Structure 1
Amino acid sequence: MQTASNGPDQPLYYQDATALAALIRTKQVTPREVVQAHLDRISAVNPALNALVTLLADEALQAADAAGKAVMSGAPLGALHGVPFTAKDSIDTAQVLTQRGSPIFHGRTPDVDATSVARMKQAGAILLAKTNLPEFSYSTETDNLLTGRSNNPWNLARTPGGSSGGESAAIAGGLSPLGLGTDLAISVRGPAANTGIIGFKPTHGRIPMTGIWPRVPRRNWHVGPMARSVHDVALAYSLLAGPDGLDGFATLPRHFDTGVGATPDRPLRVGWLVAPGFGPIDAEVAATVQAAAEALHGAGCVVEPVRIPALEQEHPLALFNQLHVMELKPAFAEATAGHEAEMFAISKAMLATPDTALRAYVLAEQAAERLRDGFAAYFQRYDALLCPVLPLPAYAHGLSELVINGQTVPATYIQNATVPLNVTGLPGLSIRFGTSHDGLPIGVQLVSNWWAESTVLHLAALLESVSPVRDLHPAL
């Protein structure tokens, strides 16, 4: 089920972060009122969702009171002054539990904020809670032995995805206006598609991974903002991006245009692709991608169907598995030594996976390079790619296999359209543009060239402006 509300008539817990910041800055509402509205919503809804695992109610209210005094004194205000935000529980938060979804790290409290959290706070945002995740962020289903399973606010019997599933469920359900997730293969964009919000994975290295575990394979890990509007993810991205002197992949200076509201000097060329390259895709998902393509054409873009030969030839998910297991296994083994009985089933299965032979590893690295070359050639002709995020809408909890258009595939197949962007480091954004026959969100994925996040954000803003599902919320 879903409800629709628009603009200023929305309750505070469904206002965008940018709208809340404006209301606070103009003294139409106090930071305490904003935080309290979210705390009330959390009390009403989180027992069903289990999206939040550590709630900072007292700390957030104290920070809100301090933020309110700053407003009244006329002090300079950050872009998110007084606005609450949440962070996935793999992201370090100073003096706040960061337990990585595992009993092995029960009670772990870091001393220092991750760079991404510190930058949100520097902009005036208030940390409200930590959100649930699969153990060590290693699953497309958000479940673990420490804090349990998260549920999709659109249908509690369906998954919100993983690994940033608690974050996506919290934002979709009105528990948080803005959050931080991480993405190794799917983990920001997939959960966003499952719950109907926006998840943005910038170019690899745009946002430092400092203070986030595991750090391997760091050439595939990304941090990304999650929210209910394009303006919110664009604003968060502008605050989060840039080197911190600690992450050797984050080296590009912080001078860029987010692209929202900008007018390109020529029509953007957009290719759209459903198949081949991603395998079987649910018919409703395919129709939603085509509808988004038609909407972009109507907005003045040059849009045409495309094929990307490298996607068909290199099998990105298979090569990703060959590469990342070899790097994750030592980190997992070290972290869990002596605590094997406390590990979740997915982590145990990963450690039991046979090592990739050296020759196969080298061949997979070479295939990853060819995939990058294939996308480089594609972006010589096109500004962006429009494609699915997931091959089907949110599915039932605990499935090991999926049936898509009559074809049975492993549940890991859910990553087929997202993992190519982790292997290559390309930026990608998930935005809802449709609804399934049983009321579940359907997202589409926008991809641009490396470092061209402004293109993705501009196109997302165009889609958002004509979206048939804008401002729909789950009826919780």
Structure 2
Amino acid sequence: MASDPILSAMPAVELRQLIASREVSSVELVSSCIAQIERFNPVLNAIVTLADEAALDAAKQADSALARGDRVGPLHGLPIVIKDISETAGIRTTYASPLYRENVPDADCEAVSRLRKAGAIILGKTSTPEFAAGANTVNSVFGATRNPWNTELSPAGSSGGSAVAVASGMVPIGHGTDFGCSLRMPASFCGVVGLRTTPGLIPNAPMVASWDPGQVHGPLARTAEDAALMLDGMTGFDGTWPISIPAPWDSALDAMRRSGGPKGKKFAFAPDLAGIGVEPEIDRLCRSAAALLSEAGGYVEECGFSVPEAIDIYRVLRAQWMVEQQLDRLDQMDQMDQMDQVDQVDPNLAGNVKLGLGQSVLDLARAQHARDVALKRFRELFNVYDFLITPTSPVEPFPVTQNFPTEIGGRKLASYTDWMAPCFLITLVSLVSVSVPVGLSRSGLPVGLQIVGPRLSEPAVLAIAAAIQEAAPIGIPPMLG
């Protein structure tokens, strides 16, 4: 069993039970993951730093703890990969930037620290665009990460490496972050579950901009239950983090199983949330998923709800956030050097930073006021409906050599971020959102549906995602067969 890569592709909730009962050892599971990585990572390029020896040592300790009868956490003995934007003590963290090619942090970020305390074993770091700025996982340090459903295509980003590692069975669960679409879009492209959590549920330390609700940490998993299990290892109130909030459940997994799924819930189906168009195959499969929710006892009503006017708001606030993240580096330069230095990083990141440097206080104030207007529209929607459902991505996976889609149905897009609008409009108003696979297109590519709920509705949206997965399983990427 130690060399059987199929073990690593089993659901995390099952693996946890097998490890707890000592039917499977953590060492066997980690060894299975390593075998799967050796088999597929040379082609997919998802994991950029492998900590196999340290992971095997940690697995031995995990097995010993069970043998002693120690009390263990919800993720005990489960291997996991961490997005290379998040600090890991003793394991290289490059932020996908040549500036940090050999950077090895002394301490974990808070999210990783929590995962370790929950018993997870850090097996490696996964690829991302430079400083996570972009929705195609390509960078100058490690190159391109490829989609396991078709290696000529992109896995999206910026948590593309983790999504690919999970989809290809290299690990049962993966970590990612999400500022605009970075958990949900890779989940959609790779046929897995990606959850954008409530801002404050998982602290962002040591990230700067501590009061900002934009970036969140969250799980990538093959099933909604696995995502809930991983969430149980990450949440918890932190009195030193200014927007930290406690979870209103003892266990997300237990709360999910009690929630009742779609039965009796009211869903607003918005086929084009951003008003930018949707490819026909995406629309067809998301409508099929809406029908499944109706068959499961939910009430689904198509509505014309869209907020295209909020796209420009997000651009302004995203640019401000990018400047905040790069402020220490910018402060080390004089004003004449700033633009020259910015041009040396990835063009996506450079474009955001330049936009931010050119904004005025008035621009930011207007954006915040407009954001309040957008929030009011969403609040009015949720006064009538329990959940909003909409396509995660308006397009199918595109070539990995393409930076981003430039048009949808012949309609030109104004910015590299526009195609991500169905996701980032949810980020803008701090709601919970999960992407769940709803089927395969005629091209054999996964399509994701985005289920949006109020703050702290993670167990409920995951229960709905689980019902869809049960009714419409998509199978595994052909290369794994």
TM-score after normalising by structure 1: 0.92
Match of 1:280 among 277, 282, 297: 277
For 2:361, the aligned partner's letter is: L
Deviation at 1:367, TM superposition (A): 1.0
Q: Give, in whole Å, the separation in 2 of the partners of 1:246 and 1:46.
A: 39
CA offset digits 1:303-329 (Å, max 9, x no partner): 1112336x14xx222111112213322
Pair 1:408 & 2:412 matched: yes
Aligned counterpart, 1:475: 479
Greater Cα offset, 448-457 or 184-193: 448-457
For 1:23, the aligned partner's letter is: L
Match of 1:237 among 231, 236, 240: 231
Pair 1:332 & 2:326 matched: yes
Contact 2:273–2:390 (CA under 8 A) maintained in structure 1: no
Q: Give, in whole Å, the separation in 1 of the partners of 2:459 and 2:342.
A: 45
Match of 1:322 among 316, 324, 328: 316
Deviation at 1:350, TM superposition (A): 2.8
For 1:378, the aligned partner's letter is: L
Aligned counterpart, 1:117: 112
Deviation at 1:330, TM superposition (A): 4.7
Greater Cα offset, 127-136 or 270-279: 270-279
Aligned counterpart, 1:451: 456
Aligned counterpart, 1:246: 240
Aligned counterpart, 1:137: 132
* Mapping for residues 37-436 of structure 1, pairs under 5 Å: 37-211=32-206, 213=207, 215=209, 218-253=212-247, 255=249, 258=252, 259-264=255-260, 267-275=264-272, 277-308=274-305, 311-312=307-308, 315-335=309-329, 343-353=345-355, 355-397=358-400, 398-409=402-413, 410-436=415-441
Contact 1:50–1:150 (CA under 8 A) maintained in structure 2: yes
Deviation at 1:333, TM superposition (A): 5.0
Aligned counterpart, 1:4: none
How many residues were matched structurally?
463
Deviation at 1:159, TM superposition (A): 0.8
CA offset digits 1:167-198 (Å, max 9, x no partner): 11111111111111011100000111010110
- Which consecutive aligned stretches of 4+ in structure 1 deviate over 6 angstroms post-superposition? none
CA offset digits 1:205-229 (Å, max 9, x no partner): 1111113x46478321111111101
CA offset digits 1:229-259 (Å, max 9, x no partner): 1111111112212222332111335535634
**Which consecutive unaligned segments of at least 5 residues does structure 2 have?**
334-340
Q: Give, in whole Å, the separation in 2 of the partners of 1:92 and 1:399.
A: 26
Contact 1:260–1:461 (CA under 8 A) maintained in structure 2: no
Q: Give, in whole Å, the separation in 2 of the partners of 1:59 and 1:14.
A: 21
CA offset digits 1:268-287 (Å, max 9, x no partner): 11111113643210111111
Q: Give, in whole Å, the separation in 1 of the partners of 2:88 and 2:407.
A: 40
Q: Give, in whole Å, the separation in 2 of the partners of 1:45 and 1:125.
A: 22
Q: Relative to structure 1, is the Cα distance of residues 180 and 191 closer, same or farther in structure 2, using a 3 angstrom cutoff? A: same
Deviation at 1:440, TM superposition (A): 0.9
Q: Give, in whole Å, the separation in 2 of the partners of 1:18 and 1:425.
A: 28
SS of match in other structure, 1:437: coil
Q: CA RMSD in A?
A: 2.1
Deviation at 1:346, TM superposition (A): 2.3
**Which consecutive unaligned segments of at least 5 residues does structure 1 have?**
1-8
SS of match in other structure, 2:464: helix
Deviation at 1:340, TM superposition (A): 5.3
Deviation at 1:150, TM superposition (A): 0.9
Q: Give, in whole Å, the separation in 2 of the partners of 1:150 and 1:217.
A: 32
Greater Cα offset, 275-284 or 46-55: 275-284
Greater Cα offset, 240-249 or 368-377: 240-249
CA offset digits 1:327-376 (Å, max 9, x no partner): 32253253365765752232233333362233332221111111111111
For 1:431, the aligned partner's letter is: V
Contact 1:216–1:327 (CA under 8 A) maintained in structure 2: no
Q: Relative to structure 1, is the Cα distance of residues 342 and 103 closer, same or farther in structure 2, using a 3 angstrom cutoff? A: farther
Q: Give, in whole Å, the separation in 1 of the partners of 2:5 and 2:300.
A: 35
